[in-house]
């Protein structure tokens, strides 16, 4: 709008009018220069603290990545080094358990069956000899036991000697011999047959394997006899404890 009394500018042509409005628009919409806001001392301190925190976190992440990489390299080296791998407590316990006819979980269990206790003591001695750098607490953690139990086992072994794995015949050979004595095959003994002569032969084979390999648990015996349940093996042993072990036909009575 024109102010009252202001002289009216006259333009000679359209080009002059356009130039006038172009200049007016540039003056009206020209960007104003805004002076930067001065930061207070507290704001600068906060900015510096945040910058230092970001740098420190980046350094910590880098250090953690280097540590993780070093640990992974150590694990790879350990896997590639057979000697170091063989000295691991778990591997030693598994080897001793297999030599005694048990599993790794059996050694770490709380069962107090005499054959299993002997195997456990032998495993403790083997780990102690292979890894003398382990403390009693570390040995206890390897066997899921209190350090006092480890000390007790080592004291007993020092007096009684280190238990040795049993040297016995293979269970399959024992079953074959019993089957031949009863005039049947091993497949029939471990099979599902329920006839009376077959049951007597099976019980005799169970008793023979039990006598030759007392280190085998009932579950292991069940696997040998056609994956039978351990309760079936226990029932057979209880019946034979009362009735006696079945004998092959014609034994002592035939000429």
Topology of the domain comprising 89-160 = Chromosomal Replication Initiator Protein Dnaa; Chain: A; (1.10.1750)
Residue ranges, CATH 1.10.1750.10, the chain: 89-160, 171-243
Quote the CA–CA distance of 6 and 118 in Å, as a whole number.
119
Q: What is the pLDDT of residue 255?
A: 43
Q: How confident is the model at residue 216 (pLDDT cuts 50, 70, 90)?
A: confident
What DSSP state is assigned to residue 227? S
Residue % of the chain over a pLDDT of 70:
80
pLDDT confidence of residue 31? 56
Query: Mean pLDDT throughout 189-212?
Result: 90
For residues 175-185, give the mean pLDDT.
Answer: 91
pLDDT in tens, 60-74: 888 787 777 767 655
Classified as helix, coil or strand, 205 is helix
The residues, ordered by sequence, that sit 6+ positions from 222 with a Cβ below 8 Å of its Cβ are 228, 229, 230, 232, 233
Tell me what percent of the residues of the chain surpass a pLDDT of 90.
Answer: 28
pTM value surpassing 0.85: no
> Which of 11-15, 113-117, 226-230 is modeled with the greatest confidence?
226-230
Query: Collapsing DSSP states into helix, strand and coil, what is residue 95?
Result: helix
The CA distance from 3 to 159, in Å, is: 121
CATH 3.30.70.890, applies to 171-243: no
Q: Is the pLDDT of residue 84 over 90?
A: no
pLDDT for residue 253 is more than 60: no
Nearest to residue 74, comparing CAs of 66, 135, 167, 23? Answer: 66
What the block records as the tokens of 215 is 């280190």
């Amino acid at each position: 709008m024109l102010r009252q009394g202001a002289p009216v500018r006259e333009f000679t042509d359209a080009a002059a009018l356009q130039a006038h409005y172009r200049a007016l628009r540039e003056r009206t919409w020209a960007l104003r220069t805004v002076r930067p806001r001065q930061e207070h001392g507290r704001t600068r301190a906060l900015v510096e603290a945040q910058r230092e925190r970001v740098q420190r976190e980046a350094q910590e992440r880098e250090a953690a990545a280097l540590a993780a990489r070093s640990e992974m390299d150590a694990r790879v080296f350990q896997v590639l080094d057979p000697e170091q791998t063989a000295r691991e407590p778990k591997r030693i316990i598994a080897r001793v358990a297999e030599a005694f006819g048990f599993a790794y979980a059996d050694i770490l269990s709380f069962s107090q069956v005499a054959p299993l206790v002997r195997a456990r003591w032998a495993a403790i001695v083997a780990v102690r000899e292979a890894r003398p750098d382990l403390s009693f607490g570390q040995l206890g953690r390897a066997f899921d036991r209190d350090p006092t139990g480890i000390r007790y086992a080592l004291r007993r072994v020092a007096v009684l000697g280190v238990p040795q794995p049993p040297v016995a015949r293979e269970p399959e050979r024992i079953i074959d011999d019993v089957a031949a004595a009863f005039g049947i095959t091993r497949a029939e003994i471990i099979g599902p047959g329920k006839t009376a002569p077959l049951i007597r032969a099976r019980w005799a084979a169970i008793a023979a394997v039990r006598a030759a390999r007392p280190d085998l648990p009932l579950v292991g015996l069940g696997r040998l006899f056609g994956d039978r349940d351990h309760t079936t093996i226990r029932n057979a042993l209880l019946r034979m404890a009362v009735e006696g072990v079945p004998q092959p036909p014609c034994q002592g009575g035939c000429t």
